[in-house]
Amino acid sequence: MQKAFLVDGSICLGCNTCAMACKNQYHQDTGILWRKVREVGAEDYLIDNNNILPTLVSYQKAPKVTMPIERFYFSLACNHCENPACVAICPVGAHTKDPETGICKHDQTICIGCGGCVKACPFGASKFNAKMGQAEKCSMCWERQADGKTTACVQACPVGAIAIIDLHDPKYKELGTSAPVGIDYAINAETKPSTRFIHPHMPKEIYRQPKG
Amino acid sequence: MSYSKEKVDTLLHNGISRRNFLKGLAASGVLSSFPGGLLEANEDLNTKIPYLGEKSYETFRNACPRNCYDTCSIKTFVKDGVMQFIEGAQESTYTRGGCCVKGNSYVKRVYSARRLKYPMLQVGGKGSGQWKRISWDDAMEIIAKKLLEIKKDDGTMLGAALTKYSGNFGITHYGIEGMFNSIGYTTRLAGTPCWPAGIDAQNLDMGNMWCNDPEEMKDSKFIILWGVNPASNSVHSMKYIYEAKKKGAKVVVIDPVFTEMASKSSQYIQIKTGTDGLLALGMQKIIIDAKLHDQKWLDANSKGFKELKEYLDKDIKLDDVSKVTGIPLEMIKELALSFAKAKPATIWMGYGMQRHTNGGSMIRAIDALVAVTGNVGKYAGGARYGHLSTWGFNYAALSMPKPEGSVGYTGPEGAKGEFAHGGGGEKAAYTDRFLNINKTARELLNSKGPKVRLLWVACKNPFSQDFDRNQLIRAFKQLDMVVVADQFFNETAKWADIVLPVATQFEENDVNVSYWHYWLSLNEQAIKPIFEVKSDVQIAALLSKHMNKLEKGSCTFPQSVDTKEMTIKEFNPGIYAQFGIKSWEELKHGPVKAKAVIPYADGKFQTPSGKYEFYSEKALELFGSALPKYLEVRKPYDKFRMTSPHSRWSLHSQFQNLEWMEDVHPEPSVYINPDDAKMKMVNEGDTVAVFNKQGLLRLKAKITDNVQPGTVLMYEQWYNNNIYNVNELVDDTSSDMGAFKTGAPGVALHDTFVNFRKI
Ligand code: SF4
Ligand code: SF4
Ligand code: SF4
Ligand code: SF4
């Protein structure tokens, strides 16, 4: 099994309910969001120096697109990669990949705050909490899932724009692509991110007032 | 950072500057070492808490009482007396397990270090920033003395005024009005800044404001979202709209702004602001000319269709419709005909559209379009605006008798606002005095016979939401005493003499319904009130205790209340029957929905004729036109139109001030069309001054064709850390309707004009 987020940019409202639901559940410190609602077409593509790991050769950036501002979004957290850089780099085993679900978990009780994962992750999913002197990230609400619930973000999304799917289940095979557009995101990364995307699109018919 | 308890106490016990006051507030967060210690109010120190499994928590039923379509049913998870997290209730198909971005910030709201914690007295006078912490007893004694002094001087209590609106729509919060009822005949700021013109319009047409269940929209075949933006402001309605769209319904958005909703529609049509009524009339004409109107329904259920048709034939020229609305005639025709052919079809009208000088007339014209096509009284149809049909509570907290011998106002009696319920049927010799809430500053300044001397502000933040700020400062300054009951130190509190810290819904009991959907939720007290906060009705009880101590019989409000008992008293057999429950206790298992009724399906309208009235004598009498005639919108008085819609990050002045909200949306912007920006040489990210005869704001520009040329957009919000307030640019010009049902006309907020330049 490889659990993964399927994010549907065609219906996502950009309402940030999911990001706030995550804060509601875990009380991340001010300034830290494990889930971030990313605006399509609005991001600066950084030349990042995250790419320092020997395990990572290089990766491409998602193509840029132009979209009206503040209208189209992908909601992203940790990608729960099939080949996670965070797990590979952590010297104390605070990051683990659950063999059953494929969830990449971070255990704050072991984390020594070396910051390796924060630099190694091509997606910036691991955050460094300066006050705690530790890393933290989305662990796909594995405790909630083990308790028979879905993740806080999925449950809170008012339109079902995030879903949990199993990449190894053939019925999800055709759902979405692994490459988003319009956000600063590494595609074809060796970590093999599991997140799948449904692209946003403009309404079929649009009429705007003429100039003047 | 470290603060000692002693240091904080000294800070709070002495007269301190506002700066220190705020610092004191932040510091005092540490005072609260909560049981379990999982949560600390010190914003520097809240960090990851683990999820411990459903069984490890105590759960409570709550509801979001904000002025929001969605009125979410909430489930609150508490451990060791500390709120851990919330979820939307799963039992409600409408809330469906999740709140919005605002609702999900509630834990932070409760434990925010920015919360008001103690009663405070502004010892240096209003706006001085010299604050002192006082006890509840001292605060109440000061207020009670002032009230009794007013009564002694004037012989009536009319010098005491209350302004309360939508900060908390929980039913027991009408106890605030109850508190004022219980001291005598007083002055009330009446009316509503929100939706009055539309309420009047719907009442003139149909004798009520009553919308179909939003959940039915999933089965609509054609949906027009007219000046409404649920993708931002009623996110729980979106699943029904998406479902309809998935099943093949066309979802058309007509809006001056390419909104979040527009971006998710099948078709977006940009209209010139304030011309929507004319578009609706043009569409009716096209439909009637094509004989696609529902003659059978009209014959049986309407009055004045003939007159309407004559007016359309004679006065509505389609070429003019196209020119004025800025929409090509072919597109209007196509829209009209496809709307008329789809059954059932529905239109949802937003509240922004009626905040114009011709707002009520526009809602009437759109109602008529729905009626002409026979979509009124149909499942999944309807002219949707809002409803109050599930609000039939006892209003026990509101219905307090006047003290014996009370003397009041003898002028003509007006209506009291859209939620005016209960409270004595017999005609009294006196009434309260009603001032127009939408002209608060002016009305307070001009009040005579007797002058208003004390103002109590509850569930409202006039300095953020009202207009004419400079006048408002003058008005507040000349009052003997301003009391502000709130949860945060907002702009209005700054101009108070006394601030009283108010409980959140998690710290009290209440019951909630919506003006949009049909669910009923119990709100249980989930945690003990933190610090010294009290619920509004407990404040009323304490006031009553002090007034009666000073003068026996001067206040009839119970001297001690239990919010749970208060809540139980609100239920009655009518509510039980409507919701199919035997007792309020059933609500502990989750929210329940009212039995399904299709509004007007029985063809009964509460209009004078008993029918749908295209031609309304009442409208003629009150507003000078029996038919939903086209009325031109206010003429520009400056270069650009300014529109100030609701933001998704806040509900009026609530939520945006929270630390967590700053993480997802830190600062305001002004949205400018690229053509206008080019002309004014403004680039993305530049700081611009936006100004008019009312005031001036400085903020960052975002360039986008989401707004049409000639229009700038800024959201109405209150930031904790930013003096930005869009209402400083808005004057108090009235909309056309509102006086019929809510006691005062609305405000033409969106008929504001400004200019801007780069600075
Ligand atoms: S994924 Fe859902 S909750 Fe998150 S922003 Fe999109 S619509 Fe809102
Ligand atoms: S996204 Fe980053 S943090 Fe998450 S599993 Fe992949 S490498 Fe690790
Ligand atoms: S799965 Fe859980 S931890 Fe991850 S973003 Fe969603 S709510 Fe946060
Ligand atoms: S603000 Fe509205 S949508 Fe958000 S939680 Fe409250 S009622 Fe629900």
DSSP string, B663-675: HH----EEEE-HH
Q: How far is B252 from chain A (nearest CA, A)?
A: 9
**DSSP code string of A58-100:** --EEPPP----TTS-EEEE-----SS-HHHHH-TT--EEE-TT
Can you tell me the distance from the alpha carbon of B33 to that of B590, in angstroms, rounded to the nearest whole number? 32
Assigned domain for B202 exists? no
pLDDT of A181 above 60: yes
Assigned domain for B227 exists? yes
> Residue B655 has what pLDDT?
97
Strand, helix or coil for residue B26: helix
Assigned domain for B118 exists? no
Residue whose tokens read 């009705």: B537
pLDDT of B619 above 60: yes
Domains identified in chain B, total number: 5
Assigned domain for B577 exists? yes
Assigned domain for B147 exists? no
Which residue of chain A has the CA closest to B660?
A30
**Ligand 3, atom 5: closest residue by C-alpha:** A35
**Does any ligand 1 atom lie closer than 6 A to the CB of residue A14?**
yes
Q: Which CATH number is B708's domain given?
A: 2.40.40.20
> Residue B36 has what pLDDT?
27
**DSSP code string of B372-412:** HTT-TTSTT--EES---TT-----TTT--PPPTT---B-S-
Task: Band the pLDDT of B412: cuts 50, 70, 90.
Answer: low
Can you tell me the distance from the alpha carbon of B194 to that of B94, in angstroms, rounded to the nearest whole number? 23
Assigned domain for B236 exists? yes
Residues in the ligand 3 pocket, defined by CB under 6 Å: A 21-22, 25, 34-35, 77, 138-141, 151-153
pLDDT of B154 above 70: yes
Contact B97 A155 (CB under 8 A): yes
Which residue of chain B has the CA closest to A71?
B260
B696 and B726 share one domain: yes
Stretch among A110-114, B50-54, B361-365, B468-472 having the lowest mean pLDDT: B468-472
pLDDT of B681 above 60: yes
Can you tell me the distance from the alpha carbon of B542 to that of B243, in angstroms, rounded to the nearest whole number? 51
**DSSP code string of A99-131:** TTT--EEE-TTT-----HHHHH-TT--SEEETT
Using the atom order of ligand 2, give the atom closest to the CA of residue A97. 5
Q: Which of A147, A159, A212 sits opposite B239 (nearest CB)?
A: A159
pLDDT of B415 above 60: no
B288 and B350 share one domain: yes
Contact B43, B26 (CB under 8 A): yes
pLDDT of B41 above 80: no
Which distant-in-sequence residues (6+ apart) come within 8 Å of B55 by Cβ? none
> Residue B175 has what pLDDT?
97
B371 and B287 share one domain: yes
**Does any ligand 4 atom lie closer than 6 A to the CB of residue B754?**
no
Residues in the ligand 2 pocket, defined by CB under 6 Å: A 78-81, 84-86, 104, 121, 123, 125-126, 137, 191, 193
- In the numeric block, which tokens belong to residue B260? 């979040």
- In the numeric block, which tokens belong to residue B682? 């403004």
Assigned domain for B12 exists? yes
pLDDT of B587 above 90: yes
Can you tell me the distance from the alpha carbon of B438 to that of B440, in angstroms, rounded to the nearest whole number? 6
Q: E strands along B487-611, which residues? A: 498-501, 510-513, 519-523, 592-593
B304 and B372 share one domain: yes
Which chain B residues have a beta carbon less than 8 Å from that of A28?
A: 47-48
Task: Band the pLDDT of B37: cuts 50, 70, 90.
Answer: very low
Domain definitions of chain A by residue range: 3-84+139-198
B695 and B733 share one domain: yes
A94 touches chain B (CB under 8 A): no
Q: Is residue A149 classed exposed, middle or buried when 0-12, 13-18 and 19+ CB atoms within 10 A define those classes? A: middle
Contact B462, B472 (CB under 8 A): yes
**What is the residue range of B32's domain?**
5-46
Question: Which residue of B1, B264, B655, B675 is the best one to mutate when testing the A interface, meaning the one whose CB has the most A CBs within 10 A?
Answer: B264
Which residue would you say has higher pLDDT here, B721 or B183?
B183
| CATH architecture assignment, domain A3-84+139-198 | 2-Layer Sandwich (3.30)
What would the pLDDT profile of A139-166 be if each residue is shown by its tens digit?
999 999 999 999 999 999 999 999 999 9
> Residue A53 has what pLDDT?
56
Q: How far is B662 from chain A (nearest CA, A)?
A: 8
Which residue of chain A has the CA closest to B55?
A147
B258 touches chain A (CB under 8 A): yes
Q: SS3 string of B366-379?
A: HHHHHHHCCCCCCC
**Does any ligand 4 atom lie closer than 6 A to the CB of residue B103?**
yes
What's the full length of chain A, in residues?
A: 212
B81 and B12 share one domain: no
Cβ-based neighbour number of residue B512 at 10 Å: 26
Mutate to test the pocket of ligand 4, among B69, B100, B650, B652 (most ligand atoms within 8 A of CB): B100
Which chain B residues have a beta carbon less than 8 Å from that of A25?
A: 51, 85
Stretch among A85-94, A167-176, B116-125, B316-325 having the lowest mean pLDDT: A167-176
Q: Which of B45, B87, B235 sits opposite A155 (nearest CB)?
A: B87
DSSP B488: B
> Residue B416 has what pLDDT?
58
Mean of per-residue pLDDT scores for chain B:
91
B413 and B556 share one domain: yes
Q: How far is A57 from chain B (nearest CA, A)?
A: 33
Across residues B220-225, what is the average pLDDT? 98
Mutate to test the pocket of ligand 3, among A34, A101, A155, A195 (most ligand atoms within 8 A of CB): A34
> Residue B13 has what pLDDT?
34
B338 and B405 share one domain: no
A133 touches chain B (CB under 8 A): no
Ligand 2 centroid to residue A10 C-alpha, Å: 25
Across residues B299-303, what is the average pLDDT? 98
What would the pLDDT profile of B717-738 be if each residue is shown by its tens digit?
999 988 899 999 998 899 999 9
Largest CA distance in chain B: 81
Q: How far is B103 from chain A (nearest CA, A)?
A: 8
Angle, in degrees to the nearest 10, between helices B196-206 and B359-372: 40
B191 and B230 share one domain: no
B101 and B230 share one domain: no
What would the pLDDT profile of B99-118 be if each residue is shown by its tens digit?
999 999 999 999 998 999 99
Contact B258 A204 (CB under 8 A): no
B434 and B298 share one domain: no
Query: Of B417, B456, B444, which Cα lies nearest the Cα of B536?
Result: B456
Which distant-in-sequence residues (6+ apart) come within 8 Å of B694 by Cβ? B467, B468, B469, B728, B729, B730, B731
Residue whose tokens read 């008293």: B569
Assembly ipTM: 0.96
Which distant-in-sequence residues (6+ apart) come within 8 Å of B601 by Cβ? B377, B378, B379
B377 and B394 share one domain: no
Assigned domain for B619 exists? no
Contact B159, B187 (CB under 8 A): yes
Which residue of chain B has the CA closest to A146?
B53
Which chain B residues have a beta carbon less than 8 Å from that of A23?
A: 104-105, 108, 660, 663
